[in-house]
Amino acid sequence: MAGRTSGLRTKGSWMMWAFWAAGVSLLLVEVKAGMEYVETGLQQNLSGILGDLPAVGMITLNMAEHSLWHWGSLQMAMQAVPMVATGLLLVTVALMLRRGAKS
């Protein structure tokens, strides 16, 4: 009896592995088909965006060129920021001290 069941298991074992191998190979085929589908969709959708990429690059370079030509105005703004921040900080400290003195 034990010999008979172990023989059936041996026969079923290779069949089970064959079904597993077939299932895995079908899964891999489906994954490959799905990836090809996604890749094709991305190529179609991104072709319009990538077509505009050189124009976006030129706009960025033109903006950088214009900002470099007007570097002096940027320098004045950067020098004004710490002075404005210091003024606001002094006003805030004065208001806080005034509130503290009233309490």
Q: Name the pLDDT band for 67 (thresholds 50, 70, 90).
A: low
Confidence check: pLDDT of 26 > 80: yes
Indicate the average pLDDT of the chain: 77
Q: How far apart are CA 85 and CA 45, in angstroms?
A: 47
Q: Name the pLDDT band for 68 (thresholds 50, 70, 90).
A: low
* Helix, strand, coil % over all residues of the chain, rounded to 5: 95, 0, 5
34-62 core/surface letters (b: 16 or more CB in 10 A; e: else) = eeeeeeeeeeeeeeeeeeeeeeeeeeeee
Q: How far apart are CA 14 and CA 11, in angstroms?
A: 6
Record the pTM. Answer: 0.37
> Tens digit of pLDDT for each residue in 73-88?
667 777 778 888 888 8
